[in-house]
Amino acid sequence: MSPAVEPFWQTLAAHGERPALQEGERRLNYRQLLDEIEMRAGYLRRIAARRLALELDNGIEWALWDLAALRAGVVCIPLPGFFSADQQRHVLDSAGVDTLIAADPSRHAPLGFESLAEGFSQRRPAQVAELPAGTLKITYTSGTTGQPKGVCLDAGAQLRVATSIWQACGPSGIERHLCVLPLAVLLENVAGLYALLLGGALVELVPLAQVGLEGASRFDLPRFLGTLQRSRPNSLILLPQLLLAWVTALESGSPLPDSLRFVAVGGGRVAPQLLERAEALGLPVFEGYGLSECASVVCLNTPGQRRIGSVGRPLPHLQVRLADDGEVLVRGARMLGYLGEPAPAGDWLGTGDLGHFEGDFLVLHGRKKHQFVTAFGRNVNPEWVEAELVQQLPIAQAWLHGEAQPANVAVLQPRSAGIDDEALARAVARVNAGLPDYARVHHWLRAEQPFSVANGLATANGRLRRAALFQHYRTAIERVLATPIP
């Protein structure tokens, strides 16, 4: 067992009989939680598990086996259910997984897995990639192109983040947290599960379909609202698109649970107008920023330290500075390396994100590689414009292109099939009124279909696959650019 983990177990033990995990009628207190973890850790040792993949829905069993792997010193590889079959095979093979816990392990029998016990299967992998020393979790980023990449993390990095998160949000009076995002996503795993357990809170775990998440990009808002009213949590973590749907529902009269104390939002750019709308409704939303390579959260707004338009102040366990070109650099919590690649050099990790500081608060501009330069030499970060576009009720998704072009073109996915082109045009005009000329949407196209994992136009967490979008719409863009700007 890693020495960095021992204080974690001691803290959990100190919570004694307090409730720890709940799923439906099943509830474990902290003493029972530790007993269950120890029993499962012993089993992992007996079957000689070395690299354990978890392919389970959100629930108590996911949490117990993840924590048992941490206890036993077994490398844990969460296998996201929203990954395609090809991506899941890539994860299992590239990580050299020998042990699998899954609701239906027979699906992976063609990869050599043989049934061991109910839900368990094992194999002897054909090849086992060497891991950086200390690796206890490999989390796969969905990325923007190609296969997902494995980010190798030790226990210390994850628990430092969790400790900082609890220090930041704990004073808000959080006693009950509802997991909304998949536990296979590092943000909910570390900033949700680990952080709230450190604080002695109750973590409620329900199947993802029950909170309205279906597949990679479908969100059943009524189901989410129903679970929220039943659970009455003090905290939860949301992606920007989930927050937008919720705020829109609240503005239409949906009740707001008075139990909420801290709603964290991250995973993509959040338009300041959305945060202002949430604040006007009394929704305690706090934007943050992080990346898997830093074991999730890097910066976070809090009730006492908040600036709308920023992603907050750096957490206390790390340092943030800017490179000469504005790239955000982080030191103090970082990955051990990408699976199968050389360890990163130096103390400072380049995030690929651009930003500036306003006092102690970090303000992001978008991805360094996403910025484009127009034919008139103007730098435009499309994420800024796209975030403004999806604030408009008729627009569900937006992608902006203008590299080396005299005009910018947006591809827009309407929120429903009944939204006509006139409504989209009015929405674009409202956004353009608040933008400088060089960043405006000069032309727009109606999307052929939603941007999704299924068609390769978006990642599992909703980020656009820009190269794929360009290839898909290239001919249409060339055609529209040949027409005069109205």
* Mean pLDDT for the chain overall: 92
Residue 144: the pLDDT is: 42
Q: What is the pLDDT of residues 101-111, one digit of tens each?
A: 999 888 899 99
Q: Who wins on pLDDT, 50 or 81?
A: 50
486 falls in which pLDDT band (50, 70, 90)? low
If one counts every other C-beta atom within 10 angstroms of the C-beta of residue 91, the result is 23
- Whether the pLDDT of residue 4 is over 80: the answer is no
- Whether the pLDDT of residue 280 is over 90: the answer is yes
The share of the chain scoring above pLDDT 70, in percent, equals 97
DSSP string over 401-413: E-TT-SS-EEEEE
- Whether the pLDDT of residue 146 is over 60: the answer is no
**What is the sign, positive or negative, of the torsion defined by CA atoms of 192, 198, 202, 207?**
positive
What does DSSP say about strands 99-102 and 51-55: parallel, antiparallel, or unpaired? parallel
CATH number of the domain at 372-481, please?
3.30.300.30
- Whether the pLDDT of residue 267 is over 90: the answer is no
The angle subtended at Cα 336 by Cα 330 and Cα 338, nearest 5°, is 100
Q: What is the pLDDT of residues 435-478, one digit of tens each?
A: 877 789 999 999 999 999 889 999 876 789 998 999 999 999 99
Segment (H or E) for 137: strand 137-141
pTM of the model: 0.83
Q: What is the pLDDT of residues 301-342, one digit of tens each?
A: 999 899 999 999 999 999 999 999 999 999 998 899 999 888
Examine domains 7-16+26-154 and 156-367 and report if their fold is the same.
Answer: yes
Q: Give the start-to-end residue ranges of the domains of the chain.
A: 7-16+26-154, 156-367, 372-481
Task: Look at residue 429 and give its three-state secondary structure.
Answer: helix
Check: CB of residue 359 under 8 Å from CB of residue 353: no
CATH number of the domain at 156-367, please?
3.40.50.12780
By residue count, the chain amounts to: 486
Q: What is the pLDDT of residues 199-243, one digit of tens each?
A: 999 999 999 999 998 765 578 999 999 999 999 999 999 988 789
Residue 207 to residues 22, 78, 180, 192, 460, Cα–Cα distance (Å): 12, 16, 9, 15, 18
Domain 7-16+26-154 falls in which CATH fold? Rossmann fold (3.40.50)
Residue 483: the pLDDT is: 72
Residue 209, CB-side half-sphere exposure with 13 Å CA sphere: 3
Kindly report the three-state secondary structure assignment for every residue of 11-57: HHHHCCCCEEEEECCEEEEHHHHHHHHHHHHHHHHHCCCCEEEEECC
DSSP string over 94-114: HTT--EEEESSGGGGGGGT-E
Task: Look at residue 207 and give its three-state secondary structure.
Answer: coil
Residue matched to tokens 């093979």: 93
Q: What is the pLDDT of residues 350-384, one digit of tens each?
A: 998 899 999 999 999 877 888 887 876 677 889 88
The angle subtended at Cα 236 by Cα 466 and Cα 286, nearest 5°, is 70
